[in-house]
Structure 1
Amino acid sequence: MTVQMPISARAFALVLAAFCLAQIAAAQTRPGSANAKGTASAQAGDAPPSMSVVEWLQRMHTGARQRNYVGTFVVSAAGGDLSSARIWHVRDGDLQIERIEALSGPPRSTFRRNHHVMTFLPEAKVVKVEKRENLDLFPNLPDKPDSSIGDFYDVRAIGKDRVAGFDADVVQLVPHDGLRFGYRIWSERRSGLVVKLQTVDAESRVVEQSAFSELQLDAPVKAQALAQMMTNTSGYRVEKLELERTSAQDEGWVLKAPVAGFKPRSFYRRPAGSDDKAGQDRTVQWTFSDGLASVSLFIERYDEKRAPRDGVLTIGATNAIRRRLPEPASDWWLTAVGEVPQQTLNAFAQSLARTR
């Protein structure tokens, strides 16, 4: 199994209104319910002087979906890694459609039409097609939010600023524990669209920053034009990724102790390989989110011939660990990926257990 690790899945997803890991991300479930009056105020214009964590996040969540925009989005990590993409986003009634063109690294174009995602890889002449029910949004609010996000984050308004020529409100989300990062968020004052984000560690160091370097709000982008580009696969080999929904219980996995604030979002089996008998060796993916941060657990059969060594990897705000599970599950291999501190991934790894 290969785990792709861009600088930040959530970083691009925060403005896309819907998209990237599972990686890594992720996918992004925990916010609280804002009252109707507060939500209406947040959508109508300037942000009220005092809002709860949930009201701020609902405002940003809505801002990413209700506006057409075109912009250049740049993500930088503390270690010097830098990536950028050109983004086109259109809302047409219930339709959300986006185009994301990588401006750095290997050529790549990703299109999303609601839950349907197509990634064009020009060098390989391949199009990867998939459906994502749990999209990596930032903020990662479900349709019916619960009221627990305030148990793990506080919000502090820290002033005003300008980003890409737009006035922005700046807030800081401060975690209550060391299991999650903090965030400084710049949201466009009128719409709530997130225009800049800093991910901050326990020492107040910025581990990753993402921002629009250039942005056009209410840009004249046509949904039909993007849809036609998305469906033009002439000259490409189409590869469909069909994930099979299942459950941790059915697959024989459990967390002996929950990791505070992180709730399960989905559980899938990935496509079987040619040498897989009866689906027994398929990789499974278990995703969790606290509404802002997400963690994905990829579990596969241990293969001594191809298994890499135990190890850790850090790129910006994204951490990953790989390890062979201890007895009695030592014939399984775990890869845990998330935009969380490494200790959070360790907590998941230590709690994961086989039930059969």
Structure 2
Amino acid sequence: MPRPPGARSALAGPAPAVPPPCAAPAVASSHRWAGKRGDGGIAAVFLAPVLIGFAVFYLYPAARGAWYSLTDWNLLSEPGFVGLDNYARLVRDPLFWNSLKVTGGYVLLNLGIQMIAGLGLAALLHRLTRSLLVRSLLVVPWLVPSVTTGLLWMWLLDANLGFVNHVLSGLGLAGQGFLTSPDLALTSVAVINSWSGTGYTALLLYAGMLLVPAQVYEAAALDGSGEIRTFFRITLPLMRPIIAFVLVVSLIGSFQLFDTVAVTTKGGPVNATRVVYYYIYEQAFTHFKMGYAAALALSLVLILGVLTFVQMRLLRASTSDLA
């Protein structure tokens, strides 16, 4: 009589033991943990150069600067510990508060000009042309060194020989001391740097506009939304993370203004352009008060940290309506 499929003869001996079901997952788990340990070592090797560079060029100078801010170091003698005297002096220093006020005015002017002009250029690029040549030309002023830009505009805005004043004279208007008038100097410096950085800002905002799906614009057009309404009701809200990034980067860069002031106005006239970065430079390398300059620099770091945190919270930079 034939045996059913899968049956064993009595002479064949006992059936081999079947391994428990949990054996295979245990082996796979051990391999997975071994892989994780191996990946951690490889990651440490690749991250080591970056971490070493950060420690040498950022962490160590920051710690050393914090120490110098507690001393009276003047670059010529050994630093002596003075505690918080430099910070107490900072609070009572009217020139420091004036430099912060001047820097704040410059930041508002620079951010306002760059954001408005950058959004306009980005919208034109997005709607009219996506030419690579046009985008390349926009970024050319940003690639020019700040010192070269300052020297160029110092000649163009010169009160006697400048091209801009010659144009004004040809139009029957009075010439202006753009960089020598206390009322115009800061605005002129802001316009110079805005001319240099607006193209780069426009490219960042243009990249943000490209992230908005075309289907959103098609739906808005079907609903009868015009170009201006679509821009303010759809494009800008969906670009919030990009706008937050541009504002934070531009804010930090504006507070670091130095080259243009050093080349064109040197903090004048009458402290009208003495921004905080230039004031720190003067205290360190003109008056040889390195300890006080370090205290000013650390205070600026704290101010920028607070402003950045407030911007990120108000703009909700970590969330996007595209998600």
The structure number with the bigger radius of gyration is: 2
> Which TM-score applies when normalising by structure 2?
0.25
Higher strand share: 1
Q: Which has the higher contact order (CA 8 A, sep 6+)?
A: 2
> Which TM-score applies when normalising by structure 1?
0.24
